[in-house]
């Protein structure tokens, strides 16, 4: 997931939700979210690196995943096109066709 311009990887699932670690191995920041990974309950630690600058594809990917869970009867390609259309223009202009195809 992406939170405040930092990328996180899933660590474990707990009874109260999910635990995520910063994607940089040397960084000790941990996020705690609900089971769906949509709501951040708590963040511990301070990042020891700058925020990621190239997360355009990741933001749209996260948005598509959230929408796909909400509208189960809709074609994934349709959800993708709608989310790309709804994304800020500055974000979309940095994307390439290869980013969309992933």
pLDDT tens for each residue of 24-83: 999 999 999 998 888 899 999 999 999 887 777 777 777 777 777 788 788 877 877 787
Whether residue 43 contacts residue 63, with contact meaning beta carbons closer than 8 Å, is answered with no
Whether residue 54 contacts residue 95, with contact meaning beta carbons closer than 8 Å, is answered with no
Any idea where the domains of the chain sit in the sequence? 2-44, 56-101
Q: Is the pTM of this model over 0.75?
A: no
């Amino acid at each position: 997931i992406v939170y405040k311009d930092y990328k996180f990887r899933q660590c474990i699932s707990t009874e109260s939700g999910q635990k995520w670690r910063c994607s940089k191995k040397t960084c000790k920041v941990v996020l705690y979210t609900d089971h769906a990974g949509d709501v951040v309950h708590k963040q511990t630690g301070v990042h020891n690196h700058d925020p990621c600058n190239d997360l355009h594809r990741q933001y749209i990917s996260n948005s598509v995943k959230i929408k796909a869970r909400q509208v189960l009867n809709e074609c994934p390609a349709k959800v993708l096109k709608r989310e790309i259309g709804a994304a800020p223009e500055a974000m979309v202009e940095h994307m390439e066709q290869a980013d969309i195809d992933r």
